[in-house]
Amino acid sequence: MHSRPRSLEAAGLAGNPCAWILRRRFQRYTSPATAARFSLSVRGLAVAPNGDLVIADAGNNAIRKLSTAGQVSTLAGGSDVLPQIPVATPAANHANGTGGAAKFKAPQAVAVDAAGNTYVADTDNHVVRKIDPAGNTSTLAGQPGVCGNTDGFGSSATFCLPTSIAVDGSGNVYISESMGLNGITGNPIRKITAAGAVSTVTSKASQKTSRIHFSAGTYIYFYAPVRLAIDTSGTLYAADPNDKVIRKYSPQGSATIVSGTVAEDYGYHYADGPANVAKFGTMDAIALDRKDRLYVLDAGIGGKRIRRIESDGSVSTVVGPTPSCDDSNAPYLCWGQDLAIDASGNFLVNESPSITGSPIQQYSLIRRFTSDGASSSVVAGSTTGVGFADGTGAAARFYMPSGLAAGKAGKLYVADTGNNVIRVVSPTGVTRTLGASGKPCASSGGKVSELSFCFVQMLAVDAAESLYVPNAARIVKATPAGDVVLVADLAALMYDPQMRANDNIAGIAVDSVGNVYAAAASGSAIVKIPLVGEPVVFAGALRALGHADGQGNTARFSRLGNMAIDSKDNLYVIDGMGDDNSVGPTVRKITPAGVVSTIAGSATEAPGLVDGSRADARLTVSQPGFGSMQSARLRLDDQGNVYVRDSVHSVVRKIAVADGSVSTLAGQRTR
């Protein structure tokens, strides 16, 4: 590392940080349960005959297993975590094979038969899969990537978004679907026999639809898939979140209501009592214990609960309700998604928040509740490491840390974006805070203790240990004495008359003399704020987009991103940001004299992950729909090599100073 402080992006040193090099969403190999990590989209659960818990980790396209010995491993899939880029016609991500060679796409549910075979509702592939005890994955029925409702044998049949799955003692597999695509309506239940014949038990399991509020008082009406479970006698049960009832099906497919009455409205209700009095809400999951007692994971008035349904249909609450979700360590059901029951009658619930806008909603774990609901414990995964707390090492908490800058003697400054403050981490891992969350934004002047650094995502530090922080079109300086002063207001330079708005600062750096440089994102120019004098355009031309190397204002950029500076005061900046940019992603270098050159990537090629020579390499620098938090970041080493964090593919690329060749230094594609 350079001895002179400069702007950089690096690995965190305190709290529970997102690693700079790789934000690995799960550990592929066997890990102790509490050390294992899951995606935020863990869905289905099923208990195997030997007591292992099988888990559908939808966000990682993987089927995971929690053994009775407390080890988490990947049973199948997970070899490629797809970038979450919305596309008009989602392609299949499907492959049969052993272990990690198999590919899934957002599997939502699992079931396990008496022989230890696992059946998977491979939801976004529109197929049903089977994993044998040796870990070999095959496709039981359906056509990968084809949404339909055709009966038939094996691959001649089609499914559409299979969402819940159950298997009986004879090897018959039942699947519920979420229809509404390609003109298909309803929420069918389908059956696959042990011989592979696919038939329809019912084309519409619900009488009523569900609805969600869209905008301006309008609603979208749809059929939510029912949740399935099968008892030891082969009776099929369905928890219906549309009608708010529990039904059972005869072998001929006729349905009988076990508990609840078909809802007269769209509300989520709650009432225990006899079958005709009981009321239900979301009915997120259904499960049976070893004594064939029926349970549902349900959310209605007052919170989420685990409820028991007796043979006569009467309902009682066993666990819950959830009084508060403000403490992520509380033994409650706040974000429970699915339910399984082990041999001892304990309840296993996966907590995977679907909303990640709050610090308490960013964790993924499996929790075990005792059969009487009196206590619970985390058996796999971990509670949130997100928050706002100073302290030493793991006691510190951050919320979406982004830009970093290295100070003197090993000190690290962190842009704590979610908390709107700057954190200072000492070489021994002690974290303290600069700024006050909830106070007015530092946009002009004042005291650090009385201001917050609103939406801070980047910062730079000079030799005197003053911090430079962008705020909209302004740059402020926080001095070691605790004063905040305005360095420059770039509104006049960065105002876009076409958009009628100021441009954003996408990158910031300070040279060895104390000159400050700002990269105008859409304006596509580098602005220099000298120690003496007014800000000037140093390289490129404001709002003159394109790609051209050259001196000063003759150079052209196209949507700039993160920026870094080396010990010789050369600037490096990411260019070609945005998914609708006709100019391909590159990394540009600007010398102290203002000469611009392209050191990696191609302006004429689409984004990609291709290693090779300067001319052949391809870069990816931004992910559609994720904004600057998922954009590429730069770092430099002492030899002048440039490192690029590619968040889309979860890898780190290296641009060699010697010849400009690009290689993938760490990580695996889409992991």
Structural domain tally of the chain?
2
- The answer to whether residue 331 sits within a structural domain is no
Cα torsion angle, 304, 35, 105, 622, sign: positive
**51 touches 379 (CB < 8 A):** no
Residue 60 pLDDT > 60: yes
> Residue 322's pLDDT is what?
66
Report the alpha-carbon distance of residue 143 to residue 297 in Å, rounded: 31
Report the alpha-carbon distance of residue 304 to residue 384 in Å, rounded: 20
State the average pLDDT over residues 134-147: 96
> Residue 217's pLDDT is what?
66
> Residue 362's pLDDT is what?
64
Residue 182 pLDDT > 50: no
- The answer to whether residue 272 sits within a structural domain is no
Least confident of 11-15, 199-203, 384-388: 11-15
Least confident of 410-414, 440-444, 490-494: 490-494
Which amino acid type is present at position 222? F
> Residue 631's pLDDT is what?
77
> Which residue do the tokens 């060749």 mark?
661
Residue 16's pLDDT band (cuts 50, 70, 90): very low
200 and 340 part of one domain: no
- The answer to whether residue 156 sits within a structural domain is yes
Residue 388 pLDDT > 90: no
519 and 377 part of one domain: yes
Domain that holds residue 193: 33-81+90-204
Least confident of 20-29, 203-212, 365-374: 20-29
Residue 8 pLDDT > 60: no
- Higher pLDDT among residues 571 and 444, named by residue: 571
Domain C-terminal end among 204, 224, 239:
204
pLDDT digits (tens, 9 = 90+) for 293-318: 999 999 887 778 999 999 999 999 99
> Residue 92's pLDDT is what?
76
- The answer to whether residue 254 sits within a structural domain is no
- The answer to whether residue 556 sits within a structural domain is yes
- Higher pLDDT among residues 20 and 585, named by residue: 585
Domain C-terminal end among 204, 235, 267:
204
> Residue 582's pLDDT is what?
79
* Helix-, strand-, coil-residue percentages of the chain, each rounded to 5: 5, 40, 50
State the average pLDDT over residues 17-39: 50
Query: What does 479-497 look like in DSSP terms, one character per residue?
Result: -TTSEEEEEEE-HHHHEET
Residue 671's pLDDT band (cuts 50, 70, 90): very low
Q: Which two tokens stand for residue 423?
A: 């954190």
Residue 643's pLDDT band (cuts 50, 70, 90): very high
State the average pLDDT over residues 594-618: 91
Closest CA to 463 of 479, 486, 485: 479
> Residue 4's pLDDT is what?
31
- The answer to whether residue 227 sits within a structural domain is no
Q: Which strands sit side by side in the sheet containing 505-510, from one edge to the other?
A: 505-510, 516-520, 525-529, 536-540
> Residue 79's pLDDT is what?
66
Residues 6+ apart with CB under 8 A from 271: 277, 278, 279, 315
pLDDT digits (tens, 9 = 90+) for 332-349: 677 788 999 999 999 999
Q: Give residue 616's Cα distance to chain centre.
A: 31
**Average pLDDT along the chain:** 85
> Residue 584's pLDDT is what?
87
Residue 320 CA neighbour count, 13 Å, CB half: 26
State the average pLDDT over residues 117-138: 97
Report the alpha-carbon distance of residue 270 to residue 499 in Å, rounded: 50
Residue 323's pLDDT band (cuts 50, 70, 90): low
Report the alpha-carbon distance of residue 352 to residue 383 in Å, rounded: 10
The CATH code of the domain that includes 178 is 2.120.10.30
- Higher pLDDT among residues 321 and 26, named by residue: 321
Domain C-terminal end among 184, 204, 224:
204
Residue 441 pLDDT > 50: yes
Residue 108's pLDDT band (cuts 50, 70, 90): very high
State the average pLDDT over residues 440-464: 92
Q: Which two tokens stand for residue 475?
A: 């740059």
Residue 507's pLDDT band (cuts 50, 70, 90): very high
pLDDT digits (tens, 9 = 90+) for 622-633: 765 444 455 788
Q: What are phi and psi for residue 92, nearest 5 degrees?
A: -70, 150
Least confident of 91-95, 172-176, 177-181, 549-553: 177-181
> Residue 380's pLDDT is what?
86
Report the alpha-carbon distance of residue 579 to residue 622 in Å, rounded: 7
Q: Are strands 53-57 and 633-636 parallel, antiparallel or unpaired?
A: unpaired
pLDDT digits (tens, 9 = 90+) for 210-224: 887 765 667 788 889
Closest CA to 91 of 64, 58, 137, 124: 124
Residue 66 pLDDT > 50: yes
Residue 29's pLDDT band (cuts 50, 70, 90): very low
